[in-house]
Amino acid sequence: MRLFVAIALPEEARAMLARFESGLPGARWVAPETFHVTLRFIGEVGRGEAEDLHAALSGIYAPAFQLAFDGLGTFGNDRAQRALWAGVAANPALEHLRDKVESATVRSGFDAERRKFKPHVTLARLKGTPVDRLSEYLALHGGIAIPSFEVDAFTLFRSHLGDEGARYELLAEYPLLLP
Q: State the catalytic residues.
A: 36, 120
Contact 44, 2 (CB under 8 A): yes
In a 13 Å sphere around the CA of 119, the CA atoms on its Cβ side amount to 24
For the chain, the 3-state helix, strand and coil shares in percent, each to the nearest 5, are: 30, 40, 30
Contact 9, 121 (CB under 8 A): yes
- What is 42-70 written as a DSSP string? EEE--HHHHHHHHHHHHT---B-EEE-EE
